[in-house]
């Protein structure tokens, strides 16, 4: 396998990054000795067992085909080749990154103009480690200082192929540990996409979130394999699997996520979203929020269905997090409070829990450790019609004997939060012991509520 050896040598000599080398070795496991002209069949998109809130538009077959050229040296920017192929096959074609090739993206790519196009990624794609360039040129997304390597948007776009996107995250993890105010790019930016699918891809070592979905509708993610922990003492922080923002009718399903923050997070104005059949390891749970961060804003998260999720080695399972009505600081680069809005019609069903700190957490004091101050200035954001059912498993020893936390800042802003068929056991053998506050405890079926004495958020 002369081809494999040459690229391994190039990678070690030019980058020397353990994390990148690990990702590349994984990609090499099925690499042929020549560049393939294979065209991946577009994966069938089916929704089981739950159906999306609205039907998805059909995507017609594609005509012409464009193969993306590559320098194949893991150091030269291939962005001009990518843009050339995309422009040639936009409006009815298929762009192929062939198996057996490698690509480097060193330029922020504006792919917001796509129309009726398939992008078949069979290759290994790595984003360059030029942190100065990316901080100055990545796409700013307005929410929580989020930026993206590229913007993928338009109409009727399908991305698939079984290849790997490597965010070269280690250099960012180490840099963030020294300066929390750097702008770390998100690996995959789905921005302004109206109808499409992203499926059958590996995502590795994102500097920040793996996926940011903004201003989009009728988009499905399935068969996504996410992983990438830090190889140094600097943690890989804020590596959410998916964050949705100002988007409607999104489906995230049939995927495996190994990360260090929210597995999925529904940010402001996320509506009609289905999440099902995920395995989340090392995460902060499936989270509504955080919401109410910005004064003067009205955040809506409504009609959310989460089904058949396994969560292991996590801080949370089902989670709703809302900022209080007063200024608060979770960290130096994450502050907020005072915004308004609503969380309504949220369903979590069939969650399997293993070694999770809080299997269920509802808080309206996110970012505020002073609960007296939080209760004095309760959240301006209401939480209504939440149902969490069939949650079972074992929690961690962190809060033992407590396995859940359901605390509102005021009963006037929380109503109809229902828990049923809950079977949670802590390491000491205590079952279904929760910290509760300012909620209707008669709707927390089978839960033993203890009075809130001190904050844990």
Catalytic positions, written as ranges: 261, 284
Strand positions, DSSP E, 282-403: 286-291, 298-322, 328-331, 334-336, 340-363, 380-395
Alpha carbon distance, N-terminus to C-terminus of the chain: 53
Instruction: Specify which residues 213 forms β-bridges with.
Output: 190, 244
**Consecutive H or E run containing 295:** none
Burial of residue 36 (number of CB atoms within 10 Å: 0-12, 13-18, 19+): middle
Counting runs of H as helices and runs of E as strands, what totals does the chain give? 6, 27
Helix (H) or strand (E) holding 120: strand 109-121
Buried b or exposed e, range 57-94, using 16+ CB within 10 angstroms: eebeebeebbbbebebebeeebbebbeebbeebbbebb
CB 264 within 8 A of CB 275: yes
Question: CB burial class (10 A; 0-12, 13-18, 19+) of residue 245?
Answer: buried
């Amino acid at each position: 396998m002369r081809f494999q050896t040459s690229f391994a040598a190039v990678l070690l000599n030019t980058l020397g990054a353990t994390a990148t080398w690990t990702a590349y070795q994984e990609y090499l496991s099925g690499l042929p000795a020549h560049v393939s002209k294979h065209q991946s069949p577009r994966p069938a998109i089916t929704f089981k067992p739950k159906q999306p809130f609205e039907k998805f538009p059909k995507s017609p077959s594609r005509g012409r085909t464009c193969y993306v050229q590559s320098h194949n040296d893991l150091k030269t920017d291939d962005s001009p080749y990518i843009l050339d192929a995309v422009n040639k096959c936009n409006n009815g074609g298929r762009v192929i990154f062939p198996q057996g090739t490698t690509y480097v993206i060193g330029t922020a790519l504006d792919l917001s103009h796509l129309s009726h196009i398939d992008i078949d990624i069979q290759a290994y794609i790595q984003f360059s480690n030029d942190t100065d360039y990316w901080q100055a040129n990545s796409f700013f997304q307005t929410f929580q200082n989020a930026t993206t390597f590229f913007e993928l948007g338009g109409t009727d776009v399908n991305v698939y192929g079984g290849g790997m996107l490597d965010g070269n995250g280690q250099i960012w993890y180490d840099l963030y540990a020294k300066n929390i105010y750097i702008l770390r790019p998100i690996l995959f930016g789905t921005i302004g996409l109206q109808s499409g699918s992203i499926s059958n891809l590996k995502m590795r070592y994102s500097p920040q979130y793996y996926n940011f979905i903004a201003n989009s509708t009728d988009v499905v993610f399935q068969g996504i394999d996410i992983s990438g922990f830090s190889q140094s003492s600097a943690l890989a922080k804020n590596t959410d699997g998916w964050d949705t923002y100002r988007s409607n009718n999104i489906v995230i399903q049939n995927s495996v996520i190994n990360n260090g923050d929210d597995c999925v997070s529904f940010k402001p104005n996320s509506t009609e979203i289905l999440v099902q059949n995920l395995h989340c390891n090392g995460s902060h749970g499936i989270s509504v929020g955080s919401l109410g961060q910005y004064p003067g804003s009205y955040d809506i998260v409504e009609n959310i269905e989460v089904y058949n999720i396994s969560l292991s080695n996590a801080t949370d399972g089902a989670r709703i997090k809302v900022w209080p009505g007063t200024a608060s600081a979770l960290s130096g680069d994450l502050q907020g409070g005072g915004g308004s809005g609503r969380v309504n019609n949220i369903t979590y069903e069939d969650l399997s829990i293993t070694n999770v700190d809080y299997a269920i957490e509802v808080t309206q004091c996110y970012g505020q450790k002073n609960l007296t101050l939080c209760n004095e200035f309760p959240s301006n954001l209401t939480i209504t019609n939440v149902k969490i059912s069939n949650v079972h498993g074992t929690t961690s020893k962190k809060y033992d004997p407590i396995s859940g936390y359901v605390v509102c800042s005021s009963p006037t802003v929380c109503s109809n939060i229902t828990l049923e068929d809950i079977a949670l056991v802590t390491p000491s053998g205590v079952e279904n012991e929760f910290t509760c506050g300012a909620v209707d405890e008669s709707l927390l079926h089978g839960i033993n509520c203890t009075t809130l004495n001190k904050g844990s958020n």
